[in-house]
Amino acid sequence: MIFHENGIFHLKTEQYSYLLKINRWGLPEHLHFGAPVRTEDAAGFACTPGIGWGSSVLLESSDAGSCVDALPLEWSGSGRGDYRETPIELDGKATDFRYTGFEIVPGIVPMSLPQAKDGGETLILTLEQQGARLKLYYTAFETALTRRAVLENTGDSGLMLTKLMSQCVDLPGSYEMTTFDGGWIAEMGKHTVLVTASRIVNESTTGASSNRHNPGFLLSEVGAGEDHGRVYGFNLVYSGNHYASAQRSLQGLTRVMQGISADHFAIELTPGGRFETPEAVLCWSDAGFNGLSRRMHSFVNGHIVPKYWRYRHRPVLYNDWEGCMFDFDHRRLMGLAKKAKSLGCELFVLDDGWFGKRNHDKAGLGDYKVNRKKLPMGLEGLSKQVRKLGMEFGLWFEPESVNMDSDLYRAHPDWVLTDDFEPVLGRHQLLLDLTKAEVRDYIVQNVSTILDKAGITYVKWDMNRHSVALGAKAHAYILGLYDVLGRIFAPRPQILLESCSSGGNRFDLGMLCFGPQIWCSDNTDPICRLDIQGGLSYLYPQSTFGAHVSAAPHAQTLRSTPLTTRGNVSFFGVLGYELDLKHLLKVEIEEIKEQTALYKRYRKLFQFGIFRRSENGWQVSDGQTTIAGVFHKQLPAAPGYEQLRVPGLTANRPYKLRSRAQGLRIGQFGALVKHVAPVKLNPNGFVLRTADRLAMLPDGEQTVTVSGAALEAGIMLQPLFRGTGYDKNQRTQLDFGSNLYIIEAEE
């Protein structure tokens, strides 16, 4: 609901209140964002500057309260006394927008960019200055709100816009800012710094939302933890260059703004012209980081992902990329598909390499003609046979890119995105200029035809280089991309679109508006994934991240991790398998079958359950059943006791906790087996190597029935290996080991 009383506006749901007022100078002033309160409480939140702030500039010299530099504002300009960062720049000129009116309308107000859907109500504040009108939109959703701005040229000459943020707000208080930064195979590294007088910036200028700095970030009160403390979460429904900053003023107000990056940005608005920013998402919780994540997850699952896929289960897929790369043909793929089916996979995905001269990454991008040498029966023939097995068929595309060695480039060298210098390549490729209508039409037509002909129910939409487009051109590119995605996928809502950009180079809410999941990293090493998926979990629900089990040693880290851990980590996402299945050992086949069966049984919980980061892992719960993953990186010798705490259950209700049956490879003991085997065995010999491939020892078995109160307090897990032999009730997997516990309410 949105209330309005005497110039005070109140967005209120059961989860939060967002209060602002129009002050006596016509400036929107921020009052409160946090726990739900009454509209009448507004009086208690206003900042009163008393007799003023020294040398500051006043809007009215007799009124110390008119010092805009010291006010908590919802928007601001420049040159009028507010010396903090401005959310709007009109080619270096002063700006001074004042309130002229408002509207409250039901639902969302449709816009030209992807946006959150099915909102409650929208408040539109209108602010004006000579020759320009600014509209600020606030839409209330149950667990979060969105804000955006639209600038209109109401004058009779051109208006040069060089910066327009989606939102700006001054929050009282001192905060730490957490951003998620990294690069290829190292996405979503969590960094936290105290916000003080110097500006902290979270920005991308690569043309994409980027793996360098995810657009989502957090502000938390000092001392906040996973389950306690006040935390704000911010994100942007946008896939291009973004900007966010936080800075604390002398008055103790933290100014936070978000929007499209102003780097190289300039766009001329002709008379009557307008510019629309993407939506910013603002969310709050006083139940710590987990509390904030719960609200963000519910917002993304309920309002961002396409309607068809909201809370709809996702298939367990097999993707051929890491197993085959470019080296495959029909026979090999069918062999893999049959194996994948027998292991429990439901969708077979053919990745890169199926078209043109795409036998390596230096040629073929841009062409859509199937490589008949590899696939003599075409995509249709392959898809038909895969579907006959009882699996769905999915296909990889990289439609935004082109290799210079391609028929497309030879025919249309002018279709590529250039910056008037010699082309610079990324992964041997250029980007197509999606600001051109004919380029967009080419992509829409080719991709749509293939989708309709080959019975495709899943698309992996890849993009593997940074852009050369800057500022407004980079924005126009993203608008072009959204046009293409909308035209291909809106008429085919049942196609599961998983976007990808060298892994997580475009993991953002804009892409999630078109497809409900994103390939979050080319790094599938489960120990790295603890950080990558863990980082994502702060702002994105587990239903949005593709999480695959791959081979060990791992291709990117050369680390060997138990298959158990590779499965246990991937369960907390959308499970897939991406390795050569031909060389699997018997023990691995059995284990994978068991993994897919378990995942399917608890799929709803894994994909959509309430997610929690705990002291030693991750948990998903629906109140009735909780699954807890306990993960270890490196453990010391003789590790101590370990507890598992599961909060949020019914205190006096009994719950049965059981460990997921998992095995221990005999080979893990190496030469030590000689101490337990009745006969002398060569640790590298045939007998032991064979045993290692055929059978596993039970590991870490535990079953106990206790109350919800006991689980909240923390129950003791089975001891870890302490250097003194094997026992099935001990958890013998040490470094990179993990355990999964299923906790179900008893009648």
CA 531 to chain centre: 13
Q: Which residues lie below 8 Å from residue 639, measured CB to CB, with a gap of 6+?
A: 720, 721, 722, 734
- Single out the residue of 28, 87, 503, 609 in contact with ligand DGJ (rule: CB under 6 A): 503
Stretch that binds ligand DGJ, among 77-85, 117-125, 174-182, 496-504 (CB under 6 A): 496-504
Q: Is 699 considered catalytic here?
A: no
By C-beta, is 256 or 581 nearer to ligand DGJ? 581
By C-beta, is 325 or 691 nearer to ligand DGJ? 325
Cβ neighbours around 58 below 10 Å, total? 17
Distance CA 247, CA 236 (A): 19
> Taking CB under 6 A as the rule, does residue 522 contact ligand DGJ?
yes
Q: How far is the CB of 394 from ligand DGJ (least distance, A)?
A: 12
Stretch that binds ligand DGJ, among 57-65, 89-97, 170-178, 495-503 (CB under 6 A): 495-503
Q: How far is the CB of 405 from ligand DGJ (least distance, A)?
A: 15
By C-beta, is 400 or 462 nearer to ligand DGJ? 462
Q: How far is the CB of 599 from ligand DGJ (least distance, A)?
A: 21
Stretch that binds ligand DGJ, among 112-120, 267-275, 500-508, 725-733 (CB under 6 A): 500-508
Distance CA 111, CA 605 (A): 34
Contact assessment for residue 722 and residue 734, using Cβ atoms and an 8 Å cutoff: no
Distance CA 2, CA 22 (A): 15
> Taking CB under 6 A as the rule, does residue 321 contact ligand DGJ?
yes
Distance CA 284, CA 296 (A): 9
> Taking CB under 6 A as the rule, does residue 167 contact ligand DGJ?
no
- Single out the residue of 206, 502, 523, 738 in contact with ligand DGJ (rule: CB under 6 A): 502
On the 0-12 / 13-18 / 19+ scale of CB atoms within 10 A, 641 is exposed
Strands 715-716 and 186-194: unpaired
> Taking CB under 6 A as the rule, does residue 352 contact ligand DGJ?
yes
The DSSP string of 292-311 is: HHHHHHHHIIIIIS-GGGTT
Q: Would you give the binding string for ligand DGJ spanning residues 377-396, x where CB under 6 A is met?
A: -------------------x
Distance CA 259, CA 471 (A): 12
Stretch that binds ligand DGJ, among 367-375, 499-507, 585-593, 649-657 (CB under 6 A): 499-507
Q: How far is the CB of 327 from ligand DGJ (least distance, A)?
A: 13
Contact assessment for residue 288 and residue 231, using Cβ atoms and an 8 Å cutoff: yes
By C-beta, is 293 or 517 nearer to ligand DGJ? 517
**Omega before 553 within 30 of 0, i.e. cis:** yes
From the candidates 522, 525, 531, 699, give the one annotated as an active-site residue: 522
- Count CA atoms within 13 Å of residue 560 on its CB side: 6
Q: Is 462 considered catalytic here?
A: yes
By C-beta, is 170 or 578 nearer to ligand DGJ? 578
Q: How far is the CB of 503 from ligand DGJ (least distance, A)?
A: 5
> Taking CB under 6 A as the rule, does residue 400 contact ligand DGJ?
no
Q: How far is the CB of 521 from ligand DGJ (least distance, A)?
A: 8
> Taking CB under 6 A as the rule, does residue 500 contact ligand DGJ?
yes
Strand order in the sheet with 625-631: 610-614, 617-621, 625-631, 738-745, 654-659, 703-707
Distance CA 355, CA 446 (A): 12
Give the residues lining the site for ligand DGJ (CB under 6 A): 321, 351-352, 396, 462, 464, 500, 502-503, 519, 522
Which residues form the catalytic set? 462, 522
